[in-house]
Amino acid sequence: MTLDTVKRGQACRIVSIPDSGIRAQAIRFGIAEGEMVTCDEVIPAGPIVLRKKHQQIALGRKLAASIVVE
């Protein structure tokens, strides 16, 4: 499934981030492929907020739809 379908409070593992630039920036934030993250917030039709320990990141809806998680 893709990241935009994740529900609030749900944990998931990032499987693939297709865009290489985004992938590099996500690795810096600690949200690399293979990492376990928790979904903190889903803004209706808007961004997804992910958490990994104390790190929180917001991703736009379209970007989230391109990221495969499990």
Contact set with other proteins (CB under 8 A): 20-30, 32, 40-41, 43-47, 49, 52-63
Q: Would you say 15 or 40 has its CB closer to other proteins? A: 40
Q: Would you say 62 or 70 has its CB closer to other proteins? A: 62
Q: How far is the CB of 70 from other proteins (least distance, A)?
A: 19
Instruction: Tokens for 2, please give them.
Output: 């893709």
Three-state SS annotation for 24-53 = HHHHHHCCCCCCEEEEEEECCCCCEEEEEC
d(CA 43, CA 23): 22
Q: Would you say 7 or 28 has its CB closer to other proteins? A: 28
